[in-house]
Amino acid sequence: MSGSLYHVLTARQFDRAELDALFAASGDMERIVREGGSTRFSNKILTTLFFEASTRTRLSFEAAMHRLGGRVIGTENAAQFSSAIKGETLEDTIRIVSGYSDLVVMRHTEIGAAQLAATVATVPVINAGDGAGEHPTQALLDLYSIQKELGRIDDIRIAMIGDLANGRTVHSLSYMLANYKNVHIEYVAPDNVRIPVEVKRYLVEHGVSFEESTDLRKAAAEADVVYQTRIQKERFLSLEEYEKASGKYVIDASLLDVMRPDAIILHPLPRAGEIETRVDRDPRAAYFRQAQNGLYLRMALIEKCLTS
């Protein structure tokens, strides 16, 4: 954190009280949207600066700002359409947009880019994904979705599946779950994309129970939350390595048969074949509701950043 600005840089910065307050505020935002939105931040401007592709994160932040009455400037392909392509440093870009707006939401290819941005920003910075590092606002909406769907976040068993090495959402979600009681995480991943050692170390230090396995059916049968992720083709150094991981763990109709009737399936999306579209019809498929929750959660987060 720099000065008194409220940045959102890592899932590790949140405590239980802050999470409870954010989820309560997200519920209020659902009502505000139903009632036609707010004009509360009509004098505020949000910058979205995305150096990597996005549908949900960028558009839900932009929609959130509009729903709160604010305005948005930005670039959806900052690597090409900002002066980064002329060699401008990230620090200089952030200094400039800090002068134009009240809040910066950024996604970058490099781990730690948001932290770097926060060292020079004069307005709050929100990390919307930094390479294979973290995606804290996704973890916030994931937990908000679990709370809404199951009525609790304590006392859950969650199976995280897929590309756990490159999947920044699972890193942030794992860190954030350390705030809750009696959580067990089962990581199911191909051998070349297992959960990183630094995430496991954090869980050990914070007393979170976890295991690693290769048995998707067993993990899904025991889970309250089945959290599937995409194999991130763009982060592999070779096609051969990608193909070793791809297609290994797919949620299909037969997996639904072994899952608990009250379990849910989440996915940060986009998907690329790892959940069959037939699964969408099952009421336990909560991933589109999860994406919708991103709007409300991000409205609450914008409010928090602009009023702290």
Least CB distance from residue 135 to ligand CP, whole Å? 6
77/239 Cα distance (integer angstroms): 25
Do residues 187 and 160 lie in contact, with contact meaning Cβ atoms separated by under 8 Å? yes
Among the options 34, 86, 277, 281, which is catalytic?
Answer: 86
Q: Which of 106, 245, 275, 221 is nearest to 167 (CA)?
A: 245
Phi-psi region of 80 (alpha: psi -120 to 50; beta: other; left: phi over 0): alpha
Show contacts with ligand CP in window 191-250 (CB under 6 A): none
| φ/ψ (deg, to 5) at 227 | -110, 100
260/225 Cα distance (integer angstroms): 10
Query: Which CB, 63 or 221, lies closer to ligand CP?
Result: 63
Query: Which CB, 177 or 253, lies closer to ligand CP?
Result: 177
Catalytic, 67? Answer: no
- Listed ranges 54-62, 69-77, 207-215, 229-237: which one lies at the site for ligand CP (CB under 6 A): 54-62
77 binding ligand CP? (CB under 6 A)? no
Least CB distance from residue 209 to ligand CP, whole Å? 26
Among the options 7, 44, 67, 107, which is catalytic?
Answer: 107
The single residue among 42, 55, 77, 80 that binds ligand CP, judged by CB under 6 A, is 55
269 binding ligand CP? (CB under 6 A)? yes
The three-state (H, E, C) secondary structure of 87-98, written as one string: CCCHHHHHHHHH
Catalytic, 135? Answer: yes
Per-position x/- string for 100-139, each x denoting binding to ligand CP as judged by CB under 6 A, each - no binding:
-----------------------------x-----x--x-
- In DSSP terms, which residues pair with 226 in a beta bridge? 159, 265
| φ/ψ (deg, to 5) at 118 | -65, -25
Catalytic, 248? Answer: no
Least CB distance from residue 260 to ligand CP, whole Å? 25
Per-position x/- string for 135-164, each x denoting binding to ligand CP as judged by CB under 6 A, each - no binding:
x--x--------------------------
Catalytic, 86? Answer: yes
Task: Classify the C-alpha dihedral 29-32-37-41 as positive or negative.
Answer: negative
CB neighbour class for 86 (10 Å; exposed up to 12, middle 13-18, buried from 19)? exposed
Residues that bind ligand CP (CB under 6 A): 54-57, 129, 135, 138, 268-270
Active site residues: 56-57, 86, 107, 135
